[in-house]
Amino acid sequence: MNAENTSRRAFMSRLGLGALSIGAIAAVQACGKGGGDAPKCDDLTGVSDADKATRTALKYVDNSADPAKVCGKCQLYTAPEGGAACGGCKVIKGPIAPTGNCQSFAPKAA
């Protein structure tokens, strides 16, 4: 009976750790998504490897951590056309989220 109790105890402990792990993974995946407000602008079809490297080097993200520094407020951003969710940029090639950010952020003149 002692071995059986230990086995149950170990099982319950592992079950609890498993649930915590799943919760932690879900929290990490949701981190930085801004509650789903940011459009997903990650289709890099047709973007060259060099241009992908520029996106990475400039640390482009679809959802800025600083609401005052979003692509939609940057002078380098080009607004989306034809109802598209993603715009463009004069420095970074490929789709750009209006809620995004990179190291080349330059605020629009007031």
What dotted CATH number matches 35-110?
4.10.490.10
Residue 52 confidence (pLDDT): 96
Residue 27 confidence (pLDDT): 43
Provide mean pLDDT across the span 28-57.
77
Q: How far apart are CA 51 and CA 48, in angstroms?
A: 5
- Residue 85: name the closest of 17, 36, 25 by CA: 36
Residues sharing a CB contact under 8 Å with residue 63, sequence separation 6 or more, in sequence order? 32, 33, 34, 37, 38, 97, 99, 100, 101
* pLDDT single digits (tens) 71-101: 999 999 999 999 999 999 999 999 999 999 9
Provide mean pLDDT across the span 6-15.
69
Position 9 confidence tier, pLDDT thresholds 50, 70, 90:
confident
Domain ranges of the chain: 1-31, 35-110
Between the alpha carbon of residue 70 and those of residues 9, 34, 60, the distances in Å are 50, 13, 11
Mean pLDDT of the chain: 81
Provide mean pLDDT across the span 61-69.
95
